[in-house]
Amino acid sequence: MDNTASIDVEQRELWNAQIADYWVGQKSALDGLLAPLTDLLMDAASLSGSEQVADIGCGTGATALRFASKVGVTGHVTGVDLSKKLICSATSAAQSAGVANVTFIEADAARFIFDTPQDLVISRNGVMFFGNLVGAFSNLRKGLRSGGQMLLAVWCAPEENEWYQFPMRCAAKFTGVQPSEDYDAPGAFTLARESRVRDILTSAGFNDIDLTLHRPTLFVGSTAAAAAKLFMAMHSIQKLLRETDNALEERVWQHMLDELKHYEQKSGVYMNGVCWLISARVPK
């Protein structure tokens, strides 16, 4: 098995196991935290109301449902994710909301073929996990109509993102393990470097590539306890704590609670984030 295929298998396993459980179990909290990134995509899309839209790495469906509310009955949103658990959660959310112009499909977007050319491809932190990034984005380009647009919201460097640095520091204080990021491996920060993004998208056949930096304020919990619960469940934190005992985990929890009090406001707990809004088009 080549490296790309191996990565794809590993990602499918991860996103159908503990990571999926985290996203489903923390759906409300994560949708609240990531809402500013969905807002960026919505504001940049300039929808007329009849577009065919594809949401890549759609997760539990919040962004797809937001777009479905804007394209109306003459438009349609297709959410694609390789996690069966996340697709089931998204489908359930659409049914509960009575949204009919959205379809959720369990598939690998790196290989998925759309029945209808898409006017717009969007993704909120869902395109950083492909084994072959150029190949995956080339496939997404083929799914777009001539002149179609792709809009992505992705994280910038981890050291710039307070929502990520804070829990990692809290865990590292007691585990002694300092986190490190491999930008070449699938993960939250794979598309953090502007030069890499431009190289990948150019190689994949896109043009009019633009990256705009945004610094959203993120809602990480209604209380310090709610924020700590979200952070402690993060996959990266669980990896650091995996081989520790319950007493150490409790110390991390208590330390996190104490430190989060510095971030509390009357309306909740907030931290800074830094992300790219990426726009690219298919040549006409």
| 196 falls within a domain | yes
CB atoms within 10 A of CB 205: 15
Question: Which domain range does residue 10 map to?
Answer: 3-157+185-217+275-281
Q: Is 112 helix (H, G, I), strand (E, B) or coil?
A: coil
Confidence of residue 44 (pLDDT cuts 50, 70, 90): very high
Residue 62, judged by CB atoms within 10 A of its CB (0-12, 13-18, 19+), counts as buried
| 261 falls within a domain | no
In the prediction, which pLDDT does 108 show? Answer: 94
In the prediction, which pLDDT does 62 show? Answer: 98
Structure tokens at 93: 């959310």
Dist CA 31 CA 63 (whole Å): 9
Q: How far is CA 29 from CA 93, 138, 234, in A?
A: 15, 33, 12
Percent of the chain past pLDDT 70, that is, above it, reads 96
**What is the number of alpha carbons within 13 Å of residue 283 lying toward its C-beta?**
7
Confidence of residue 227 (pLDDT cuts 50, 70, 90): very high
Residue 269 has pLDDT above 80, yes or no: yes
In the prediction, which pLDDT does 261 show? Answer: 93
Residue 245 has pLDDT above 60, yes or no: yes
In the prediction, which pLDDT does 2 show? Answer: 56
Domain count, the chain: 1
Report pTM: 0.94
In the prediction, which pLDDT does 7 show? Answer: 58
**What is the number of alpha carbons within 13 Å of residue 123 lying toward its C-beta?**
23
| 212 falls within a domain | yes
In the prediction, which pLDDT does 161 show? Answer: 96
Residue 196 has pLDDT above 70, yes or no: yes
In the prediction, which pLDDT does 5 show? Answer: 66
Dist CA 6 CA 261 (whole Å): 42
In the prediction, which pLDDT does 6 show? Answer: 67
| 134 falls within a domain | yes
Confidence of residue 240 (pLDDT cuts 50, 70, 90): confident
More confident position, 131 or 91: 91
CB atoms within 10 A of CB 151: 21
Confidence of residue 10 (pLDDT cuts 50, 70, 90): confident
In the prediction, which pLDDT does 175 show? Answer: 82
Residue 50 sits in a domain of what CATH number? 3.40.50.150
Residue 1 has pLDDT above 60, yes or no: no
| 251 falls within a domain | no
More confident position, 134 or 182: 134
In the prediction, which pLDDT does 202 show? Answer: 98
| 259 falls within a domain | no
| 82 falls within a domain | yes
In the prediction, which pLDDT does 186 show? Answer: 86
Structure tokens at 147: 């002149």
pLDDT per residue as tens digits for the range 113-126 = 999 999 999 999 99
Residue 3 has pLDDT above 90, yes or no: no
| 255 falls within a domain | no
Closest by CA to 121, choosing from 34, 58, 69, 188, is 58
